[in-house]
Amino acid sequence: MKIMSVTIKDIARVAGVSYSTVSKALNNSSLVKDTTKQRIIAIANKMHYEPNYAAQKLVSKQTKIIGLIWPTIDRVVLSSLVTQINKKINQTPYSMILSVDSVQASLDRFKRFQVDGIILFEESTDTTIKHDTIPLISYGVSRDNQMNYPIIDPNHEKAMYEAVKYLIELGHHSIAYIGDFSASDPLQVTKYHGYKKAMQHFGLPLDKNHQIDTKGLDWYNGYSAGNKLLKNTNLPTAIIGGSYDISAGVIRCIKEEKLNIPQDLSIISCDNVPEMEKLEVPLTCIGVPIDHLANEIVKSMIMYIENKELEPCVKKMTPVLSERNSCAKK
């Protein structure tokens, strides 16, 4: 029970022309007389012709599709970025598909599909990515060793520097960090690293009790870690939250301790997403705005695709501080 669909040959037969003429007519080529063109198009419509994309792709080598590899969709933080990237891509002649598998499996699949370009959300540095042929750019942390594709880096180290600087300018000297220290996610590692580096840079002491490992990125992880921090006899005057969800949890436990934000305790969060505004306490945050990120990623991707000259480079983005009402002068 195979249903054969209409091909250009069928149309050619009906129209009484060669199938190459049909092809040209359907592609609106100027090499076909206008009257025959119209006639052929009319016939094609009447026969409900639909081009076979497999065949088209086979010869034209272009799919106008960009593949995005997103190994763990559970990381909610990124879904907002994915949505933005998709929007941007749709403003171009390209469109996007997603693969939620392991990096290598996704890479293989996209290669078979012959997508025109690949965007990779890199969530671990363990695996060496062997990409050939297809233009690939990665969103993540630059690693200085073997780097054979361009990287868009949200520059969390710089963000942490700015956060610490901002708090110091407000008069804070005791600044805590609550975030995920787990070594597997390079983005999280960089935040923690950046915090410590900034503190040292400004000559502030690194108090072990003021560095809390959430061991996860969920709301509740932030909440628990916050409780641990507030048990200290010597409280910090400001807290840096490692991510949106973590900060949300921290807010909660601060309020439970009957402390006021920002009068008793200032808090600033990593990641610059609009949702920060809608939290229980609207949060000052530091990070590259999602749409800057999406813009840069899509722009680079398409440039890379269209003139394959883009050489492996690291584009470090510029974090922006979005002030709300969660930090006060000390």
Binding residues for DNA, per CB under 7 A?
A: 4-5, 7-9, 16-21, 23-24, 26-27, 30-34, 36-37, 49-52, 55-56, 58-60
Q: How far apart are CA 55 and CA 51, in angstroms?
A: 8
E strands, the chain, are 65-69, 95-99, 117-121, 136-139, 151-153, 175-179, 211-213, 238-241, 266-270, 284-287, 314-316, 320-322
* Minimum CB–partner distance for residue 230 and a copy of itself (Å): 17
Contact 275, 244 (CB under 8 A): yes
Cis amide leading into 262 (omega within 30): yes
* Minimum CB–partner distance for residue 87 and DNA (Å): 25
Contact 157, 141 (CB under 8 A): no
**Residue 138 identity (one-letter amino acid):** S
User: 181-218 burial by CB neighbour count: b if 16+ within 10 A, else e?
Assistant: beeebbbbbbbbbbbeebbeeeebeeeeebbbbbeebb
* Minimum CB–partner distance for residue 86 and a copy of itself (Å): 5
Number of neighbours of residue 144 by Cβ within 10 angstroms = 6
Q: Which is nearer to DNA, 31 or 147 (CB)?
A: 31
Q: Which is nearer to a copy of itself, 48 or 329 (CB)?
A: 48
Q: Which is nearer to a copy of itself, 112 or 329 (CB)?
A: 112
Tokens for 226, please give them.
């916050």
* Minimum CB–partner distance for residue 109 and a copy of itself (Å): 6
Which of 23, 77, 92, 109 lies at the binding interface for a copy of itself (CB under 8 A)? 109
Q: Which is nearer to DNA, 24 or 191 (CB)?
A: 24
Q: How far apart are CA 303 and CA 308, in angstroms?
A: 8
Contact call for residue 252 and a copy of itself (CB under 8 A): yes
Stretch of 130-138, 150-158, 185-193, 285-293 lying at the interface with a copy of itself (CB under 8 A): 130-138
Contact call for residue 121 and a copy of itself (CB under 8 A): no
E strands, 100-216, are 117-121, 136-139, 151-153, 175-179, 211-213
x-marked contacts with a copy of itself along 256-295 as a string, rule CB under 8 A: x---------------------xxx---------------
Binding site for a copy of itself (CB under 8 A): 1-5, 48, 50-55, 57-58, 61, 65, 73-74, 76, 79-80, 82-83, 86, 90, 95-101, 105, 108-109, 111-114, 130, 132-133, 219-220, 223, 248, 252, 256, 278-280, 308
